Chain A
Amino acid sequence: AQSVTQLGSHVSVSEGALVLLRCNYSSSVPPYLFWYVQYPNQGLQLLLKYTSAATLVKGINGFEAEFKKSETSFHLTKPSAHMSDAAEYFCAVSDGTNAGKSTFGDGTTLTVKP
């Protein structure tokens, strides 16, 4: 069984500030982890994924995430927020044994203030 918890359904930052979106997972096997972004009225877009290679994963739009096994975490960060980063972000986990079936967190809405 696997699960994902995203801490904080809403996060607000000022433009230029650090973005930190938290994700903790539970998995009985080594996980594959994903972050997706969903802009208003659009489908989900993959930001980055961890597939057991490097623990620090760099994605699109300046985002990165670090896999920490000891903390069962995969937090998403960006050093400097842009207005265009305002969206909903989803963390997901897959154990790789069920052919891509992913379990998603409830999402975090990021607001960027000017």
Chain B
Amino acid sequence: GAGVSQSPSNKVTEKGKDVELRCDPISGHTALYWYRQSLGQGLEFLIYFQGNSAPDKSGLPSDRFSAERTGGSVSTLTIQRTQQEDSAVYLCASSLVAGGTDTQYFGPGTRLTVL
């Protein structure tokens, strides 16, 4: 596709359930980023991938959060045993390469609501 796509666009789940969020980056982009946007706040960095490896996992809030990327393309963010404070919009971005000046292209996000 022409841009970054994310699925699902909305996800409502019950506390304690696991969820998987998917990101399809722009074709050919080697870097992929996950951010979280809580209501009324800016974006919080979660994790980034260069190819299939994740050099920086420092932003993951807890060990309930994990992410993987296979084939240098699609990435999945998994949240286990969801809590109400996990409710947020999860944004994915990709860039041609991982670098401080390279433009990141964002997907529309997945809105997660934990009841």
Known: A32-B100, A45-B106, A51-B101. A100 touches B31 (CB 8 A): yes
Instruction: Contact check, A100 vs B41: say whether CB atoms are below 8 A apart.
Output: no
Q: For residue A100, which residues in chain B have a CB less than 8 angstroms away from its CB?
A: 31, 33, 48, 95, 98-100, 102, 104
Over the window 36-75 of chain B, the binary record of Cβ atoms lying under 8 Å from chain A Cβ atoms (1 yes, 0 no) is 0000111111001010000110010000000000000000
Over the window 83-97 of chain A, the binary record of Cβ atoms lying under 8 Å from chain B Cβ atoms (1 yes, 0 no) is 000000010101111
Q: Which of B33, B43, B48, B100 has the most CB of A within 10 A?
A: B100
Instruction: Contact check, B106 vs A104: say whether CB atoms are below 8 A apart.
Output: no
Instruction: Contact check, A101 vs B56: say whether CB atoms are below 8 A apart.
Output: yes
Size range of the interface on A?
Answer: 20 to 34
A114 within 8 A of B: no
Residues of A whose CB lies within 8 Å of any CB of B are 4, 6, 9, 32, 36, 41-46, 49, 51, 90, 92, 94-107
Q: Can you list 8 contacts pairing A with B, beta carbon distance less than 8 Å?
A: A42-B108, A99-B31, A99-B56, A99-B99, A100-B98, A100-B99, A104-B42, A106-B40
Residues of B whose CB lies within 8 Å of any CB of A are 4, 31, 33, 35, 40-45, 48, 50, 55-56, 59, 91, 93, 95, 98-109
A97-B100, A104-B35 given; 20 more Cβ-contact pairs under 8 Å: A32-B100, A36-B106, A41-B108, A42-B108, A43-B91, A43-B106, A44-B91, A45-B106, A51-B100, A90-B42, A96-B99, A99-B48, A99-B98, A100-B31, A100-B95, A100-B98, A101-B33, A101-B59, A102-B43, A103-B45
